[in-house]
Structure 1
Amino acid sequence: MKSEGLARSGLISLFGSAFAAVAALVLTAIVGNTLGASGTGLFFQAMGIFTILTQVLRLGTNSGVVRFIAEQRAFERAGAEWRIIGYAVIPVAIVSGAASVAVWFLADALAAWLAAPADAEGLANLLRAMAPFVILGALIGVLQISARMLRGVTSFTLLQSVLLPASRLLTVLFAVSIAGVAAWGAFEAWLWPLPVWVLITAAVVVGPLMRDIRRRSESSPETRPSFGSFWRFNAPRSVSSGLETALEWADVLIIAAVASPAVAGVYAVVTRATRAGGVVDKAMRVAVSPTISALLARDRFEDSTRLHTKVVRAMILMNWPFYLLLISMGSAVLAIFGEEFIVGWGPMTLLAAAMMFQTACGMLQSILLQGGKSTWQMYNKAVALTLSIGGNLALVPLWGIWGAAVTWVIVVVVDNLIAAVQVHRGMHVNLQPAKLIPAMIAPVIVFGGGGAFFGWWGGTSFGILILGGIVLCLIYAAVLWVFRRRLHIDSLWRKIPVIGRFA
């Protein structure tokens, strides 16, 4: 993999994450406006089931591939990367292939458990339709992260964040707008691009793998990771990865079962809109995780602290404006998806506030994983999922989507506080929250106060949302430029190699 500057990698990854988020929002808007709240709920219920299955079946190998390859490069070793990727791909292919067969034969039983009796038959048919794609959905994740480590962040971003989301958007648009299909047909159209991109991604990683195989004599058993060491790291990560995905989708699935598909549709749109703000978090994780892994492998804790503080400061400056607009002008945002969804504005303010807190906590999960503490993260996610399931089952029947929103806040706060203590005390990476306060002030004043002003002055129509967004972005850009040194923005763009000066 070529040495890429942190700023360059971050910008490329940010562009890809932003594109994927926009594509997801456009997809949600298409589904919401054509299928209504009930059809949207069914669509996202199906997407949630498929996503949980495929993420679990990746067995946590994404973190393992990044960590072990980054460790090899931190010590300038060669000839073992093909083994690492083989350690990941072969077990995932075997387990996910078996799971595909199981989903096909157990579709009726699974549908009876996951859906109300009136919806069970349709869900069973959908499970059988998705069964052949399960193995592809699991494998593509492993291949994409392999492309990240072997070809660089540009290839990874194009494959995962641009081309696949764009093709899914086009197939769903064709299905609902031209073919006029219902929710289940729209979901099947969302699956269609997978086989194509699995083949293309595999072709992308073949060349670097072959070159590394030719250098296999340069690696020795003493320095290269073994199958056992790889999976001792990945075993807890495979569990925590499944818990993370279940945590992301459990609320939607519970609402669909306990309330109705229509209520689940409103909540799904609210959560998709809120999660769109995570593009910066994801971009930074992709760009910085190999560097963090290399620093921790060399016990460079002070360098890890400085890098983490710098990254979190940038995340706040770029993420908080989006969440503050959701809080101040959320009804205009939700109206894009259809008038039925505006009722979700109140709960969305809670979700947005929780995500602001998570952004300020930084890359805690990446530090835990790349520092070899996958077991800690597994326990954390088990606690979070327990809180999520228990909270949703207890509060959704009482308060509807408000109950789900309150549960979300509790889960986010508890999960991040536990991880913060572990990273700060157990891994010697100081979080330095006081140094983040200046970065918080600018977005709160400009987008919090400014968004509230535009809402008071012009209401919450789509036109006011666009006007306010443009004006506030221009003001914000000017503020960042004037205070660029005080906010340490200028230092963010200095080129920091993947190992570079921290090596």
Structure 2
Amino acid sequence: MSVLGTRLPTGRVARGGIAGLAAAGGGAASQFLIVLLVTRSLDPGAAGAFFTATALCLMLAGILRLDAGNGLIYALARPRDEHTARAVVWAALAPVVACSALAAVTVTILDAELAALTGVPDAVWPVLAAALPAVVLADVLVAATRGLGSMRPTLLLDGLARPASQLLLVAVGVLTGASLPMTTAAWALSAVPATVLAAWWLGRRLPGPAALPLTWDREATASFWRYTGPRSVASAIQAVFQRLDIVIVAVLAGPAPAAVYTAATRFKVVGQLANQGLTQAVQPHLVRAIADGDLARARRLYQTTTMWLVVLTWPIWLGYAALAPWLLPLFGPSYADGTAIALVLSGTMVVATACGMVDVVLIASGHTAASLANTGCAVAVTVVADVLLVPSHGALGAALGWSAGVLVKNALPLVQISRRYGLLPFGRHSAGALRLRRSVA
């Protein structure tokens, strides 16, 4: 069956979903173990400084990606001639590289100001600035490989090599008593080989010879950024939304409460990465289904993945809510007071998971401006709630602010796709979602 055919066997989506979940699982396990290592090896103040610095690095990377990875998935998943496919890749990468280099220089210059604002030592910031372009490009290039229909680079690089090397390097740093800048450098270093390998794989698999002359394709560039431009802003806001809570706690309450908040909310990565793993596998197929006007197939994909998310993540959230008083002391005695944060996290993620990948469906249908507005509303709600609640309630106030933002971020697109396309997260396809022998279309 052609990859652009009108029928999509569930087995193909399932295999892609399993690969995406494996990659997400590797990342989740690595992040959890890194948090465990850091909290057990460093005092809460130093641990909070590490988490604040890495959160800001990932926030910046999310902004600087300009959502070019998702744009390339959308562009490369559609039929292209040899010249246009390569022109689109260069059109996506050029502004990403330029913005990343400029941001790296800016962070290096403003290291003293960042240290005064966050409490993170100024020697940490030049280290993260040097690695920032590689962190950005690794994500964009790995995403682009999925646009060519392969989950293998995502599984091998994002699921295995990068998380394992990051964990190993951070472990060596904290166990040998390395300084905070050196430990932070160890955390960032794994992005460099991931960038090189993803670029090599993409160069070999793009249509046409690698020596195809590079010319500026104005039409391809304009088409790419017309789709990706609004989404770039939404992606930047989303990157801020994902990490802002840690930074706000550090700024308003100090690095030590930021460490407690990070430890108590670390399990949210499990659900986010499960969603990410399924999204990586399903997103190209959703784009094709909606581009073909096949709402029936889009509905089946949406309801199937929602059911998978519920089955995979609800036991984790409910288990975490029940076991939090015993799990949180694993991070150290200073982290035992995070049970209320864990309960807020678990309840919020149960509701969010039941909505499914609503924003992905909205984006796949071409409504990137609506996605931007929704994410902006969610960030605004989070910031207002955090500013009001963190000074008096500390880490718990940040958890409540994050929860309010997550609920807004899921409710708005759910209303929009249900009104425009009649798509709901549950329906007649939900009961048979896990029967792999059935066809999705």
Q: Deviation digits for residues 423-476 of structure 1, max 9, x if unmatched?
A: 1113x041054669xx8xxxxxxxxxxxxxxxxxxxxxxxxxxxxxxxxxxxxx
Distance 2:22 2:290 in 1: 27
Shift of 1:167: 0.4
Measured after TM superposition, the shift of residue 182 of structure 1 is 4.1
Cα distance per residue 1:369-407 (max 9 Å; x no partner)? 222111111111111111111111110111122211221
Q: TM-score, normalised by structure 2?
A: 0.91
Cα shift at 1:49: 1.1
Query: Which residue of structure 2 aligns with residue 356 of structure 1?
Result: 350
Contact conserved, 2:389 with 2:397, CA < 8 A, in 1? yes
**C-alpha separation between the residues in 1 aligned to 2:43 and 2:428?**
45
Matched residue, 2:8: none
Q: Name the residue aligned to 1:336.
A: 330
Query: SS at 1:430's partner residue?
Result: coil
1:22 maps to 29
1:36 to 19, 35, 43: 43
Native 8 Å contact 1:12 1:153 kept in 2 = yes
Alignment of 1:256-275 (within 5 A): 256-275=250-269
Q: Secondary structure at the match of 2:424?
A: coil
**Greater percentage in helix:** 1
Give the match for residue 160 of structure 2: 162
Alpha-carbon distance between aligned partners in 2 of 1:366 and 1:79, rounded to the nearest angstrom: 28
Q: Tell me which of 156, 179, 184 is aligned to 2:181.
A: 184
**Which ranges in structure 1 are unaligned for 5 or more consecutive residues?**
440-486
Structure 2 residue ranges without an equivalent (≥5): 4-10
> Which whole-Å CA distance do the structure 1 matches of 2:127 and 2:337 have between them?
33
Write the distance in 2 (CA, Å) between the matches of 1:421 and 1:212. 46
Q: What is the 5 A alignment of 1:427-466?
A: 428-433=421-426
Q: Hey, what's the Cα distance between the residues in 2 that align with 1:264 and 1:320?
A: 26
| Residues 143, 154 of structure 2: 8 Å contact kept | yes
What is the aligned length? 430
Going from structure 1 to structure 2, the CA distance change for 1:102 and 1:199 (only over 3 Å counts) comes to same
Moved more, 254-263 or 93-102: 93-102
Q: CA deviation at 1:333?
A: 2.0
Question: Partners in 2 of 1:373 and 1:151 — Cα distance?
Answer: 23
Q: Cα 1:212–1:412, aligned 2, differ >3 Å: closer, same or farther?
A: farther
Distance change in 2, residues 1:212/1:420 (3 Å) = farther
Q: Distance in 1 between matches of 2:123 and 2:56?
A: 13
Residue type matched to 1:176 in 2? V
Q: Which structure's CA Rg is the greater one?
A: 1
Whether the 8 Å contact between 1:55 and 1:241 is mirrored in structure 2 is yes
Displacement of 1:130 in angstroms is 1.6
The equivalent of 1:484 in structure 2 is none
Q: 1:145 aligns with which of 140, 143, 155?
A: 143
- 1:394/1:29 CA distance change after superposition, 3 Å: same
Once the two structures are superposed, what CA deviation does each residue of 1:459-500 show, in whole Å capped at 9, x if it has no partner? Answer: xxxxxxxxxxxxxxxxxxxxxxxxxxxx42542x2376xxxx
Alpha-carbon distance in 1 for matches of 2:433, 2:377: 36
Matched, 1:109 2:113: yes
1:47 has 2:54 as partner? yes
Q: Tell me the percent identity.
A: 26
Mapping of 1:334-483 within 5 angstroms? 334-426=328-420, 428-433=421-426
Distance 2:219 2:15 in 1: 30
Any idea what SS the aligned residue of 1:226 has? Answer: helix
Instruction: Report whether the alignment pairs 1:100 with 2:108.
Output: no
What is the 5 A alignment of 1:483-498? 487-491=431-435, 493-494=436-437
Q: Using a 3 Å threshold, how does the CA distance of structure 1 residues 56 and 161 change in structure 2: closer, same or farther? A: same
Q: TM-score, normalised by structure 1?
A: 0.81
Is the 1:5–1:495 contact (alpha carbons within 8 Å) kept by the matching residues of 2?
no
Amino acid at match of 1:103: V
Instruction: Say if 2:46 is the partner of 1:13.
Output: no
CA shift digits 1:154-206 (9 cap, x unpaired): 222211222111100000000111x2124433212101222222222211212
Please say if residues 88 and 142 of structure 1, whose CA atoms lie closer than 8 Å, have aligned partners that are also in contact: no
Q: 8 Å contact 2:127–2:184 — kept in the other structure?
A: no
SS at match of 2:423: coil
Partner residue of 2:196 out of 196, 199, 203 = 199
> Alignment partner of 1:80: what SS?
helix
Counterpart in the other structure of 1:326: 320
